[in-house]
Amino acid sequence: MTEPKTLTPGTFPMPTPADMHAFGIALGSELGAGDLIVLTGPLGAGKTTLTRGIGEGLGVRGPVTSPTFVLARTHPSLVGGAPLVHVDAYRLSSALEVDDLDLDLDNSVVIIEWGHEVAGVLADSWWEITIARPTAGAAEDADVESEPRSVRIERVSAV
């Protein structure tokens, strides 16, 4: 695995989905082969929106969609860079099942949604990106899609 690039740990406000996408583009331009990202957030938080942006920043073939039903999607680079491998670990019953996916960690940028339990099996360190959104409150018809989010980035090492 490569050493981290210039990603900056911290918490960043995302007022709109467009801001989340643009942030993903900026992140994608900083990532390269060997980078592993564990992406966490509740349903509807914007994980796929962020990943679409990362894919655009990497210059990969799209469309980038949620891999929920196929577990993993590979998006080859259109610009000679690293491909994006987008994994949904939610339905994996154990960390060892990730081995069956035969991920090319050294030559790809790998994003794993719901990947807390598998990250330590795959690498010694990774980027943890957590998306938080406020609760809609009592209003059941609240427009959750347009609620502001926050994104926290940190470097994590397996212990």
Contact call for residues 143 and 156 (beta carbons, < 8 A): no
- Tokens 């949620």, located at residue: 66
**2 occurs within a structural domain:** no
Instruction: Report the distance separating Cα 158 and Cα 124, nearest Å.
Output: 5
The whole-number pLDDT of residue 139 equals 46
Which residues lie closer than 8 Å to 69 by C-beta, 6 or more apart?
none
**Structural domains of the chain, count:** 1
Phi first, then psi: what are they for 51, rounded to 5°?
Answer: -65, -35
| Tokens representing residue 75 in the block | 């998006």
Instruction: State the virtual CA torsion across 72, 65, 83, 123 in degrees, nearest 10.
Output: -50
**114 occurs within a structural domain:** yes
Instruction: Report the distance separating Cα 75 and Cα 56, nearest Å.
Output: 11
Instruction: Report the distance separating Cα 98 and Cα 96, nearest Å.
Output: 5
Per-residue pLDDT of 36-78, as tens digits, reads 999 999 988 999 999 999 999 999 998 888 776 667 889 999 9
The whole-number pLDDT of residue 84 equals 96
Which residues lie closer than 8 Å to 5 by C-beta, 6 or more apart?
30, 31, 32, 35
Grouped pLDDT means (10 residues each) for the chain, 159 residues? 61 94 95 94 91 96 78 90 90 67 88 84 91 64 73 90
| Tokens representing residue 123 in the block | 């690498």
**3 occurs within a structural domain:** no
Distance of CA 149 to the CA centre of its chain: 15
Buried b (16+ CB within 10 A) or exposed e, 49-59: bbbbbbbbbbb
**6 occurs within a structural domain:** no
Give the structural domain span for 58: 11-134+146-157
**127 occurs within a structural domain:** yes
Domain at 45, CATH number: 3.40.50.300
The whole-number pLDDT of residue 143 equals 57
**5 occurs within a structural domain:** no
**64 occurs within a structural domain:** yes
**1 occurs within a structural domain:** no
